[in-house]
Structure 1
Amino acid sequence: MKRLAFKMYLSEGQKEEYQKRHNEIWPELKTLLKEAGVSEYSIFLDEETNTLFAFQKVSGDDGSQNLGQSEIVQRWWKYMSDIMQTNDDNSPVSVELPEVFYME
């Protein structure tokens, strides 16, 4: 099992809307993530900086950030683009974080 972490950036004042949209995550997106090997996915918010910290456990080499060619993911990115920083293709601006410590 591989662990992945990355950060993204939420727009000011969008915490509640971000939570609402993720609480109502589309079933087909959840299925796609699980089929891609994502078994755990958590997102945390640093409210001082509006930085989102995401953590995933995946059973392959790729996580959710590698599913951008999927029509479902592209629709999700567009849906989320009004409340977070995005690239020109609506993908979230994200920075992969290297693991520097792990304790079992």
Structure 2
Amino acid sequence: MQRVCFLLKVRQDRVEEYRRRHAAVWPEMQEALSRTGWHNYSLFLREDGLLVGYLETEDFDRARELMAATVVNARWQREMAHFFEQLDGSAPDAAMRPLTEVFHLA
């Protein structure tokens, strides 16, 4: 099982709306994430907009590929794209760059 951690930056003027949106993630989005291999998925958001994501999956590249093929993800990505800084035209999922794990206490 891969443990994946990534960082993104939410625009500071959108932090509260981002929190509200994630307090009510669409049920079909949650189902798609589970079905495509995103497990134990958490997002942590600092007041300045720093977003830390964590998930566990068998194969992160495959999980992203499967999720990208869903209609609900395309809708979600379109709605979420304007919340982030420095996406360079990418969808938020495409901007996820996993951090290198340097320590894990099992």
TM-score range, shorter chain: 0.7 to 0.9
> Can you list the C-alpha shifts for 1:58-81, whole angstroms capped at 9, x where unaligned?
2x2126544223221111011112
Q: Which has the higher helix share?
A: 2
Letter in 1 for 2:40: E
In structure 2, the partner of 1:100 is: 102
RMSD: 1.9
Matches within 5 A, 1:1-40: 1-40=1-40
Q: Which has the higher strand share?
A: 1
Letter in 1 for 2:105: M
Which blocks of at least 5 consecutive residues in structure 2 are unaligned? none
Letter in 2 for 1:70: T
> Can you list the C-alpha shifts for 1:8-56, whole angstroms capped at 9, x where unaligned?
11012222111111111011110011111222111112334x2211000
Number of residue equivalences: 101
In structure 1, the partner of 2:54 is: 55
TM-score (norm 2): 0.81
Which blocks of at least 5 consecutive residues in structure 1 are unaligned? none
CA distance 1:87–1:68, shift in 2 (3 Å): farther
Letter in 1 for 2:100: P
Query: What is the rounded CA distance, in whole Å, between the counterparts of 2:7 and 2:64 in structure 1?
Result: 11
In structure 2, the partner of 1:79 is: 79
CA distance 1:87–1:71, shift in 2 (3 Å): farther
Runs of 4+ in 1 over 6 A off after TM superposition: none
Of all paired residues, the percent bearing the same amino acid is 28
Deviation at 1:6, TM superposition (A): 0.8
CA distance 1:21–1:77, shift in 2 (3 Å): same
**Secondary structure at the residue paired with 1:81?**
helix
Tell whether 2:89 aligns with 1:88: yes
